[in-house]
Structure 1
Amino acid sequence: MDIPEADLQLCIKNGSCIITMTVSGAAFIHLMRHIGVRGSLDGCGILGVLHKIDAEALISFGTLPWATIERLVHKVFIPSLHGAQSSAKSTVFSQHGIEKKYKEQDTSKEELLVVAIDIGTTYSGYAMSFKSQKYVIHTIFNRTDKNTSKVPTALLLQPDGIFHSLGNEALLHYNIIDEEELNKWMYFSRFKMKFHKTANLSRHATVAAANGKELLAKRLFAVFLEHVKNDAINQIKTNAACDVISPQDIKWVITVPAIWNDKAKQIMGEAAYEGGLASPRHSERVVIALEPEAAALYCRALHHISPLSQDSEDTTLAFEPETRYLLADFGGGTVDATVHEVQSDNRIRELHHATGGAWGGVYIDQNYVQLLERIFGEKMIEKFRSNHQRDWTDMMLTKFESAKRNIRPEGTLYLELTRPFYDFMNGEATSIKECINRFDNDDVRLVRGYLSLKYPEVKKLFEPVFSNICAHLKRLLENHPGVKFMILVGGFASSELLQTYLKTKFESSFGLRVIVPPHPSFSVMIGSVLFGHDPSVFIRKR
C-alpha cells in the first residue's frame, strides 16, 4: 500500500460514538498493517478514513468491535503517531450523552471535565460536564429514585468503621439491620450543620452518629467525598464505554455555604485531599464554590440549559447588564443571601457579601418536634427517638420532609404517624388518640392515621423561621436600593408556602419581582459545574 502524501482524518464510529483524528499517511499505514492482515473484522465499529482534500470520500475498511477500537487507539495508534511524527489533534467522542476527550500522551495534564459535588444538609448530589460542552450537564447520582438526581445526606459505616454505603443505600440498609446489631453501626445524617453550629471549629471537631459514637468531622466528609468521587468516575467510565478517566482528568468543585467561616472552608478542602480528589501539590484541581455564586451561574445560564422553558426566559431577565438582583439560597440548614450587579461585560459584581443564618428547613423540623413533645410528652418522644432510631429517622427525614415541602398556603398539613410509633405508644399504656384529645386543640386532629394540622397551627411551625428570613432580606434591600429581582434557589425554595410569603412581603413594598427558577433544588449543584469552568466571572467585594 502506498503511503498517502497528504494528511488523513481517521474516523471511527460506533453508534453515537465517534473518534476523529488527523494523522499522517505514515501513521495511517502503520495502523492498516496492524489490523488489515488478520482475517475477518467483525463487530459493531466502522473504521474509515476521510481524505482532507475530498470531504465526501469516505473509504470504509471493515468493522471492528468497540473494545478492539479502543485498544487500537490507545496501544497501537497513539504510539504510532509519535513514531511517525504525526500532526494528530485532540480526539473527542460521545456516547449516551457523555463525551470524553483524549489527548496525545505528551500533552499537559489539563483537566478534561468538571465534576461538582454539592453536599447539602438534607440531600446531596453531583453533576458534571466536559470542557468542550460545558452546558451539557449530567446528573446521574440517584439510581433508586428516577425523579431526582440527589440522595439523602446519609453515610453508614460498619461496626469496624469501614465504609458501607451512602445516600438511599445507607438509609435502606440501616432500616434492615437486626435490632441487636444496630447499636454497633455508625449512621450519620444531616452532618453538614456541624460546621455552622460550632463557633470555634477545629480539625478535632467530631460528629455524633445515631448510636452516639463520634467520628472526626473532617474524616466523615473525606469518606463521603471519596465515595462520591468513586461513583462519579465509575459512571463516566460506564457511560463512555472505556476505562481511561482518572481523578487527574477532573477538576473537582465542592460547594459550601457562603456564611461558613474560613476555617470550615479550609477543613472541607483538606477533606477533599484526604478523600483522594487531589493532593495539596495539585490544589488547583479542587475548587471551593460558594453556594449563592453557583446558583447565580445556574440562573444566568438557563437559556443554554433549558432554552424552551418560559421560567428560564423570566429568570435570565435578571442577568441583563446593569441589573441588580438579590439571590437567596434556601438550604436545609442555612439561608445565604447576597446582592449582585451585572456588569456591561456580563461579569457579576458582588455588592454585598453573602450573609444569613441558620434558618433553613431543618429548623421547621425542630418546631415540629417541639409540637410532638407538647402533644405526646417530651420524655415519651425522647424515649422513642433513642430506642427507635431508624423509625424516628423515617418519620422525620422521609415523612415530614415531603409533607413540609408540599404544603400549600392556607392548606392543611397531613403528617403520617408510622406503625412503629403507634406500637410504641400502645406499649406505653397510652394511645395516640388519647394524647391528641388531651392536647385539646381544634387545629390538631387524628385523621385516618395522620396527624392533621390546620393552617393556624402550620403557621406556628413556619413563621418563626420565615420571620428571621424576612427581617434579614429587608435589611439587605434597604441597604441596596435599585434591586429589581429577588431570586429564590435551594431545596427549601421549592416550598410554595415560602414563595407566597416572600412575594406578599416584598413585591409591592420594594417594587421587585420574586423569581423561582426551574428545579431550584438543583441550582447550586448545576451552577457549581459552570463555576468550575469559569470562576473568574465573579468580582468579589473586598
Structure 2
Amino acid sequence: MTLKPTAGEADGQQRCIVVAVDYGTTFSGVAWAQTARPDIQTIIVQWPNTEGSLEGRTSDKVPTELTFDGEECRWGFEIDDDEPRHQWFKLGLDPKQEDEVSHLAIAYPDRKALPPAYDMTRSPGALATTYLTCLRNHIMSILQLKLGDGVINTTPIRFTITVPAIWDDAAKARTQHCAKAAGMGRDIRIISEPEAAVVYALDAMDPHNLQPGDTFVLCDAGGGTVDLISYTITGIQPNLTVRETVAGSGYACGSTFLNRIFARYLEDQLQDLEGYDDDTLEEALQDFETNAKRRFTGEDAGVSVRVRGLVDNPAKGIKRQRLTISAEKIKSLFEPVMSTIITLVMTQLKQTKQAKAVILVGGFGQSPYLRNCLKKIVPQAIEVLQPVHGWTAVVRGALIKSLNEISPDTSRICIASRIARKAYGLSCGTAFDPAVHKDSAKYFHGFSGVYRISVMSWFVKQGDEIDENSPLSTDWYQTKPVVEGRFGFVTTKLYCFASTTAESPPMYPCSDAKKLVDLTADLSAISRALIPVERGKDGKDYYVLRYQIKVAFFSAHTEYSLWYKGVEYGKVMAEYA
C-alpha cells in the first residue's frame, strides 16, 4: 500500500495527464484529461479487434477477458466469440468474494469460461496484471495518437483505478499492486466504484433539484456485480457536499447472468433442431445482448432474436430466421436477476428510511425493464433515475474526482464522510480485572507493578461515521528497560472485525479478529534525550514511549502513520496479512 506520495508527486500545481481506469469484472473503461484543460474529458472508445487494428472496434468499454497462445496473449475484442477465455479473474483479487459465490453463479456457470485448472500457473493476480498491461499499452498508444510524442514524453501521467466498495483493504492493495506491475506508475490512486459513480451522477444532475437533507441510493448494476451505497446531501454551497448514510452492499447478480440464463433457454429450445450449431447460439446471444436485453421494457408484446440457419417452425416461434419469445417468458428469464437486485435496493431503502431517489448507473442500470420493475416496487414518492452515460458513470466520476484532488479549487463535489464497514483496532495491555477478564491470560507487568491482560481496543466501530478530512488519532505507550537500549523499530499489529449481525467485536485477540496489517516505524532516529526514563514499580528504569497512531480513511484505501511529539517518524510500512 502506498502511504504517502512524495513532495514532488503531491504537487497539485504540476501539469499532468490524468487517466482513470474502471477495471470491471466483465468490461473495463478508460477516461482521460489534461490538468491544463480539465473541462475536456475524453472516453476511450476505440479498441483493437480480431484483425489487430488499433482502433478496429468502437465501444464505450472493452471486455475484461484474456486468452493465450503459448506465451502470447490477446485481450478484449481481439478474442473471437467462439474462443475460450479467462473471465472474472478480477474477483480472484479478493478471495473472500470468490469464496462467497452467489447463488446465480452456482446455478448458471459461464459456459465459455476456462476451467480453474486450465492453467494453474496463471494466478488471478498474474491475469489481472497481464490484462492491465494490455490496457495500459493501448492507453499509451491512444494518448500518443491524440497528443503526440512531444506531450507524452514531457508530461507526467497519473493513473487512478477503481475498486468495489465492499472489498477489503488487502484486495484493494492487490489491485493497486497489479496496476503498478502493469506500468501504471507508483503513485496510483484508488477510488471506490460507487463513490466514483455518485460523483459523476451528482455532477450531471440539475443542482436546483438538490437540497440539504436529500438522501438517495446509488445502484451500480454492472455485468458481474451490483453495488449499492446511500448518500445524504449536507450542503450545496460553495460545493455540493454529501455524506455516506448507509454502508455499501453488493452481490454477484449482474447482467451477465441474464446472458447465461438466456443461453440455457436457447439450448433447451433449439439444440435438437436441424441446422442448429454453436454459431446459431453465438449470434442469437449477441443479438440478445445488444438489442433485446437492453430494449426490453416489460410492456412489449415480446422480443425476437436472430437464429441463422434454422427453418421456419411455428411451434417454436421461428419465422424467417427470427425466434420470437413472449414477454411473459422473457420476464421469467429475467426474474432470478431482477428479484435479487430488487431485494438489494429495498434493503438499502429500508435502512435509509428517507430516500428521495434511486439512481441507476452501470450497463444494466440503463435497462428500462429494471427501471420499470423498481418503480413498481419502491414507494411512489421515491424517484428512479437513470443519468445519461450511465454505463460509463464510474470511469467518468473517477476522472472527475482525480482532477478535483489534484486541483481542489475546481472541485464541485465533496464526500464529507463515510461509514466504516468494519471495526478497526489493536491488541493492547490493560489492568487485569477478575470480575471481567479471564484469569488464565493475565501476566505481571513490571513497570506498572500489576497484573495485566491483552485485550482488543477497537478505536473504530463498524457503522461509525468517518471524516476523510480529520484523521483519527489514538494515544498509546510502550515501555522498554533502559538496559536493553533505545527503541529501534516499533511494530503495531492492526486488526479488523466485520459482522453481518449486531454482534459486538471480540474482547480478546482471536480468529474472529482478522489481522489487517503490521505497521512498522523506525524510531532509532529519536534522540535519547527526547524519550523520558521512568522508574518502574519493580525498581528498574524504563524508556517510556507515548505516541500516537493516526488513521486516515479515504474512498478506497486507508493510510496509517505513527507520531511522536508532533513529528511523523519515518515512512510507516503496511504489510497486509
TM-score, with length taken from structure 2: 0.58
CA distance in 2, matches of 1:359, 1:200: 12
Q: Cα–Cα, structure 1 residues 200 and 404, in superposed 2: closer, same or farther, change >3 Å?
A: closer
Q: CA-atom RMSD, angstroms?
A: 3.4
Of 355, 359, 365 in structure 2, the residue corresponding to residue 487 of structure 1 is 359
Shift of the alpha carbon at 1:208? 11
Shift of the alpha carbon at 1:138? 0.4
Matched, 1:404 2:293: yes
Alignment of 1:397-436 (within 5 A): 397=286, 399-411=288-300, 412-419=302-309, 433=313
Q: Which residue of 2 is the match for residue 149 of structure 1? A: 60
Shift of the alpha carbon at 1:349? 0.9
Look up the SS of the partner of 1:135 in the other structure: strand
**Paired letter, 2:201:** C
Any conservation in 1 of the 2:224–2:255 contact (CA below 8 Å)?
A: yes
Q: Cα–Cα, structure 1 residues 266 and 504, in superposed 2: closer, same or farther, change >3 Å?
A: same
- Structure 2, unpaired ranges of 5+: 1-7, 48-54, 102-109, 409-413, 421-577
Matched, 1:128 2:32: yes
Q: Which residue of 2 is the match for residue 53 of structure 1? A: none
Shift of the alpha carbon at 1:450? 2.2
Q: Which residue of 2 is the match for residue 513 of structure 1? A: 383
Q: Cα–Cα, structure 1 residues 245 and 447, in superposed 2: closer, same or farther, change >3 Å?
A: same
CA distance in 2, matches of 1:518, 1:209: 32
What do the CA deviations read for 1:376-408 (whole angstroms, capped 9, x no partner)? 46xx79xx99xx5x8755543564453211223
CA distance in 1, matches of 2:24, 2:156: 25
CA distance in 2, matches of 1:246, 1:516: 40
Look up the SS of the partner of 1:137 in the other structure: strand
Matched, 1:187 2:85: yes
CA distance in 1, matches of 2:390, 2:89: 22
Any conservation in 2 of the 1:407–1:496 contact (CA below 8 Å)?
A: yes
Q: Cα–Cα, structure 1 residues 147 and 270, in superposed 2: closer, same or farther, change >3 Å?
A: closer
Alignment of 1:39-438 (within 5 A): 110=14, 112-142=16-46, 148-157=59-68, 159-164=69-74, 166-171=75-80, 187-194=85-92, 198-199=98-99, 212=115, 213-214=118-119, 215-245=122-152, 249-278=156-185, 282=186, 285-302=187-204, 312-313=205-206, 316=207, 319-344=210-235, 346-376=240-270, 388=278, 395-397=284-286, 399-411=288-300, 412-419=302-309, 433=313, 437=315
CA distance in 2, matches of 1:462, 1:317: 36
Q: Cα–Cα, structure 1 residues 210 and 468, in superposed 2: closer, same or farther, change >3 Å?
A: closer
Q: Cα–Cα, structure 1 residues 318 and 462, in superposed 2: closer, same or farther, change >3 Å?
A: farther
Q: Which residue of 2 is the match for residue 44 of structure 1? A: none
Q: Cα–Cα, structure 1 residues 393 and 152, in superposed 2: closer, same or farther, change >3 Å?
A: farther
Q: Cα–Cα, structure 1 residues 318 and 195, in superposed 2: closer, same or farther, change >3 Å?
A: farther
**Paired letter, 2:319:** V
Look up the SS of the partner of 1:521 in the other structure: helix
CA distance in 2, matches of 1:190, 1:401: 20
**Paired letter, 2:79:** A
Shift of the alpha carbon at 1:453? 1.1
Q: For this pair of structures, how many residues does the alignment match?
A: 376
Any conservation in 2 of the 1:318–1:325 contact (CA below 8 Å)?
A: no
Q: Which residue of 2 is the match for residue 456 of structure 1? A: 328
Q: Cα–Cα, structure 1 residues 235 and 120, in superposed 2: closer, same or farther, change >3 Å?
A: same
Any conservation in 2 of the 1:299–1:517 contact (CA below 8 Å)?
A: yes
**Percentage of matched positions with identical amino acids:** 25
Any conservation in 1 of the 2:246–2:351 contact (CA below 8 Å)?
A: no
Which structure has more strand as a fraction of its residues?
Answer: 2
**Paired letter, 1:518:** V
What do the CA deviations read for 1:429-462 (whole angstroms, capped 9, x no partner)? xx894xx94xxxxxx6223222211111011011
Look up the SS of the partner of 1:138 in the other structure: strand
